[in-house]
């Protein structure tokens, strides 16, 4: 399992294909933080929304780097379950690296500020909530990217369509609020929640929502992989 994960990550990094999503994310966040300073929790909530499609795209690229023949050989040698899980774990590790960069970037660009009024969250609390927001978005993004991967869609066009519809759908449904909000991961809902006081019940609801959405999407991915085997 560990060897397969390292193989996926090595192929992703050494071919230079990791640069495109990382640069896209840095550019988007640079524009975001260049617009003014905000409290850490609020800034990171919006950052998680911006990074959601980037992380999904990154996952698709990582899973598509491996040639189809090599992926089939890995499935035969290690077993289907290990091959599938190794790809997902590699995507999660790559995503965590991108999240770490996203958490550090606003401080380098001067895009965040400390408490300015009584009752404002401390910097530590804001960073912790920002990390939570990104960790809610990451599994859903990995699941969407996996559904868009070549192993499932068998076509570059279909893969791009799944990625685009999923990313845009998450934003549109999140903005609409009342139109089937549960059909999308709670990236927009989380960003809204971080603009004010966050109740424990709201945090638990958002966490459960994110876990359920990612679980459903990953179940669909594994079902399609089994069908394609």
CA distance 58 to 19: 9
**pLDDT tens digits, the chain, 229 residues: what are they?**
787 788 888 888 888 888 888 888 888 888 888 767 788 888 899 899 999 999 999 999 999 887 766 767 766 676 667 878 888 999 999 999 999 999 998 888 887 887 777 777 888 888 999 999 999 999 999 999 999 988 888 877 888 888 888 777 777 766 655 556 677 888 988 998 998 888 999 999 999 999 999 999 999 988 888 876 6
Number of domains observed in the structure of the chain = 1
State which residues form the domain around 182: 2-228
- From 13, 143, 138, 142, select the one nearest 65 (Cα to Cα): 13
Residue 183 DSSP symbol = G
Contacts of 104-107 with C-beta under 8 Å, sequence gap 24+, read 105/26, 105/29, 105/30, 105/33, 106/29, 106/33, 106/40, 106/43, 106/44, 106/47
SS3 content of the chain, % helix, strand, coil (to 5): 80, 0, 20
């Amino acid at each position: 399992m560990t060897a397969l994960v390292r193989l996926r990550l090595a192929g992703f990094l050494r071919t230079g294909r990791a640069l495109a999503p990382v640069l896209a994310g840095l550019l988007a966040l640079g524009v975001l933080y260049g617009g003014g300073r905000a409290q850490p929790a609020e800034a990171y909530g919006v950052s998680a929304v911006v990074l959601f499609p980037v992380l999904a795209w990154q996952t698709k690229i990582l899973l598509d780097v491996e040639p189809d023949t090599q992926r089939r050989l890995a499935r035969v040698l290690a077993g289907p379950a290990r091959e599938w899980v190794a790809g997902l774990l590699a995507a999660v590790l790559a995503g965590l690296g991108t999240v770490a960069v996203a958490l550090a970037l606003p401080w380098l660009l001067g895009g965040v500020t400390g408490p300015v009024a009584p009752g404002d969250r401390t910097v530590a609390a804001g960073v912790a909530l920002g990390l939570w927001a990104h960790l809610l978005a990451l599994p859903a993004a990995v699941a969407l990217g996996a559904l868009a991967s070549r192993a499932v869609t068998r076509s570059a066009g279909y893969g791009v369509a799944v990625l685009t519809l999923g990313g845009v759908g998450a934003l549109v449904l999140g903005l609409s609020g009342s139109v089937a909000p549960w059909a999308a991961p709670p990236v927009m809902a989380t960003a809204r929640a971080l603009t004010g006081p966050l109740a424990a019940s709201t945090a638990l609801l958002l966490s459960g929502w994110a876990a359920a959405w990612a679980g459903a999407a990953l179940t669909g991915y594994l079902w399609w992989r089994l069908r394609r085997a």
